[in-house]
Amino acid sequence: MPIIAPSFLASDFLRLADECTMVNESEAEWFHLDIMDGRFVPNISFGLPVVAAIRKTTKKVCDVHLMIEEPGNYAEAFKNAGADNLCVHIEACPNLHRNIQQIKSLGMRAGIAVNPHTPVNFLSDILHDIDFVNLMSVNPGFGGQEFIPFTLTKIAQLRQMIQERKLSVLIEIDGGVTFENAKEIVTAGADVLVAGSTVFKDKDPKAAIARLKSIG
């Protein structure tokens, strides 16, 4: 069964404490927290104080997805805010290896996010250094977008690369995950399903999480 990572971008910020309680009581293992800077992506979400506040509500994994330029300048701050997983975009990091070493030396699990147009082959020489890949199945910046079907091919390619090298890197799929496509995403090789709208816009979010988990 896949790990479920509800994306708080789709949560009701006025009821954030209740939303955290809901996820804590659910079968979800990870809290997915989307950080946007209005530069790497054309949107701004929330930042360090919100991550720190959410962290206080949970012992589950805080999975922080940085959609920001120069993420190295903020890695330590996100560690201090309570991130367990820190994920940077390959497209934002000319010195990616240095960013990954920094995240690991701070004691966090290191992930690399790749945009829909970025070939998974670009991960070839760094795959052995990381804990997970966030394969974006929408263009980053907004919740509620439609899953890009071609991404399924990339999941299978990446799964093959990981298997050939006998690595234990997790594959996380982020964007447009629904009850309809969850099965084929997991069958293609995904370990972690990020889901924003499908969870938080449902009238019974806890049941939606359980359903996503059992479908996969």
Q: Is 150 annotated as a binding residue?
A: no
DSSP string, 15-40: GHHHHHHHHHHSS--EEEEEEEBSSS
Are the C-beta atoms of 199 and 205 separated by less than 8 Å? yes
Nearer to ligand DX5, 68 or 110 (CB): 68
Strand, coil or helix: what is 44? Answer: strand
Nearer to Zn ion, 203 or 208 (CB): 208
| 46 burial level (CB within 10 Å; 0-12, 13-18, 19+) | middle
- Output the smallest distance, CB 158 to ligand DX5, in A: 17
Which has the closest alpha carbon to 195: 159, 133, 147, 132? 147
Nearer to Zn ion, 124 or 144 (CB): 144
- Output the smallest distance, CB 45 to ligand DX5, in A: 8
Residues that bind ligand DX5 (CB under 6 A): 7, 9-10, 32, 34, 65, 138, 140-145, 174-177, 194-198
Q: Is 40 annotated as a binding residue?
A: no
Nearer to Zn ion, 67 or 105 (CB): 67
- Output the smallest distance, CB 195 to ligand DX5, in A: 5
Q: Is 196 annotated as a binding residue?
A: yes
Residue nearest to ligand DX5 (CB): 196
Catalytically annotated residues: 34, 174
Contacted by 189, from ligand DX5, Zn ion, none: CB < 5 to 8 Å by type: none
Residues that bind Zn ion (CB under 5 A): 34, 65, 174
Are the C-beta atoms of 92 and 69 separated by less than 8 Å? yes
Q: Is 34 annotated as a binding residue?
A: yes
Query: Could you tell me the maximum CA-CA distance found in the chain, to the nearest angstrom?
Result: 46
* 181-187: long-range contacts, CB 8 A cutoff, minimum separation 24: 181/147, 182/2, 182/212, 182/215, 182/216, 183/215, 183/216, 184/152, 185/137, 185/152, 185/155, 185/216, 186/2, 186/215, 186/216
Contacted by 10, from ligand DX5, Zn ion, none: CB < 5 to 8 Å by type: ligand DX5
Please report, in range form, the residues annotated as the binding site for a divalent metal cation.
32, 34, 65, 174
Binding region for substrate? 7, 65, 141-144, 174-176, 196-197
